[in-house]
Each structure stands twice: as C-alpha cells, then as structure tokens.
Amino acid sequence: VAGDGRNRIRSADQSAVAREAANSGDKKAAEAALQNATRKLDKAVSKGVVHKNQAANRKSAIAKKVASL
C-alpha cells in the first residue's frame, strides 16, 4: 500500500482549517490555526508531498487573511 504516508500527510493538511478560522473572525484562533498549518505544510514539503512553492502560496494566502482580521 504505497503512498499511505502521503495520503495521511495530505489529508492532515491544515490549510482548510486555518482558512475557516480566519473566516470566522476570531483572531486568536486564526493565528493558532495559521501556526499549525505552517508547521504541517512545512512537514509535507520535507516529505515531498507538496511542492515548496505550493506550500508557500498557501501559507501566504492564509497569513494575508489572518492579518486582515
């Protein structure tokens, strides 16, 4: 069952969670979710699951939403 690790990391992608937190308007929750999403995306990059530029784009978009709160 090759790829199980990739699917596990990809499904644990927290960028959607961080976007939801940013959309909710709760700045503290959004900042915590952003920190968690950044950590998870960096790990996915190190495992080769997500390209580094893709992760950078996701982190940037989420950070922009959080900063606008």
pLDDT digits (tens, 9 = 90+) for 6-15: 666 666 666 7
Q: Which of 19, 26, 25, 13 is nearest to 62 (CA)?
A: 19
Model pLDDT, residue 50: 84
Using a 10 angstrom Cβ sphere, with 0-12 exposed, 13-18 middle and 19 or more buried, the burial of residue 28 is: exposed
Distance in Å from the first CA to the final CA of the chain: 43
CA distance 53 to 48: 12
Mean pLDDT for the stretch of residues 21-44: 85
